[in-house]
Structure 1
């Protein structure tokens, strides 16, 4: 069994603690734009009948449900997350959706996925890769469980390039967001969010990490003035 590092355990406990208000605060703090980003990210994958998809750091299952809404009924989805509380909320959300028969869940960290090599046609992870303590190991696991010809799509926060927009974004992200998040949930968790984004590698460096893990034709797409970025890699 994979043992999380001390930092990994702290992050896991943090997500367990904020799980009950997680969906609400996602919508509030992003003004609902996060839904549009997820829809666009899922559209970057080409699907076929009977395909299998894995959504890592699935949280409460938003991306898993988005995949189900965009794909044929023969496509099955597994959501994996290391937070048991998040997964339990995801299971409840899926049970109340039209896609309950197509989505299952596993409790597992990105660095140690309990699936055989080449198990999936697509792998996604949205706003989760920055929480993976050993990112190279996590990316190698994503590559391992993909079949040949499969695709990984990674959606993550990034830093806007425009100086004017960056200053506005930083003020909101560093000053306003933690206060709002703390009012409804846990301040320390929503202080961690901007800190984790600011320490995330540059787009070029992260694409290099994907290439090192084995991915080919690695590219990125900026979203909403560079607030978020989609990274795409093929096997």
Structure 2
């Protein structure tokens, strides 16, 4: 059985602590732009009637619900997350939605997905890959459970190319965001967010990591002046 590292356990506990205010702060701190980013990512799914889609690091199920809204009723969605508190909130949201019969949840880390090989037609992970301690293992696990011809879609924060916009972005991320997050939740958790974004590999480094794992036809799309990026890769 997979065991989280000490760092992984601390990240897990941190998300458990902020879970009750997580959705509210996502909307507040991103000015609602995160919804548009998720919608753009979901539009890149590959699916057909009866497909199965996996949302890794599903959190409270926002992407899983967007997938259900955007796909035929025969498509089944599984949300997986290593934080039980997040999953429990997601289950409540889904139960109150029209898609309760199409979405299921599992408590599991990205590095140890409890599914057979070649299970899913598409896999999404939104704002979660930077929280995976062993990213290569996480990518390898997603590749394993993806069917041949399937597509992985990763939505993640990135660093803007424009020097001026990058300075503004870093000021907001480092100085403003933790203070606002601390007012409504935990300061340390919202200090971790910018730190984790700034430590994330460059687009070239991360796309190379994807290729090394086995993904092909890798493509990167910048969103909102490069604040976020969508990475796609396929399993041949």
- TM-score normalised by length of structure 2: 0.99
> 2:46–2:121: 8 Å Cα contact kept in structure 1?
no
Paired with 1:172 and 1:61, the residues of 2 have a C-alpha distance of 26
Runs of 4+ displaced beyond 6 Å: none
Counterpart in the other structure of 1:213: 213
Report whether the alignment pairs 1:91 with 2:91: yes
Counterpart in the other structure of 2:103: 103
> Tell me, which stretches of 5 or more residues in structure 2 are unaligned?
none
Paired with 1:227 and 1:206, the residues of 2 have a C-alpha distance of 16
* 1:42-53 to 2 correspondences below 5 Å: 42-53=42-53
Paired with 2:47 and 2:54, the residues of 1 have a C-alpha distance of 13
Paired with 1:232 and 1:137, the residues of 2 have a C-alpha distance of 17
Paired with 2:3 and 2:168, the residues of 1 have a C-alpha distance of 40
Paired with 1:32 and 1:47, the residues of 2 have a C-alpha distance of 27
Residue 219 of structure 1 and its aligned partner are, at CA, apart by 1.1
* 1:1-235 to 2 correspondences below 5 Å: 1-235=1-235
Residue 47 of structure 1 and its aligned partner are, at CA, apart by 2.0
- TM-score normalised by length of structure 1: 1.00
Paired with 1:23 and 1:45, the residues of 2 have a C-alpha distance of 23
SS at match of 1:101: coil
Paired with 1:159 and 1:201, the residues of 2 have a C-alpha distance of 10
Count of residue pairs brought into register by the alignment? 235
Residue 46 of structure 1 and its aligned partner are, at CA, apart by 2.6
Paired with 2:229 and 2:44, the residues of 1 have a C-alpha distance of 13
Paired with 2:212 and 2:123, the residues of 1 have a C-alpha distance of 17
Per-residue CA distance 1:106-165 (angstroms, 9 max, x = gap) = 000000000000010000000000000000000000000000000000000000010111
Residue 45 of structure 1 and its aligned partner are, at CA, apart by 1.3
Per-residue CA distance 1:193-218 (angstroms, 9 max, x = gap) = 00000000000000000001100011
SS at match of 2:106: strand
**What CA RMSD, in Å, does the superposition of the two structures yield over aligned residues?**
0.4
> 2:46–2:150: 8 Å Cα contact kept in structure 1?
no
Paired with 1:217 and 1:48, the residues of 2 have a C-alpha distance of 20
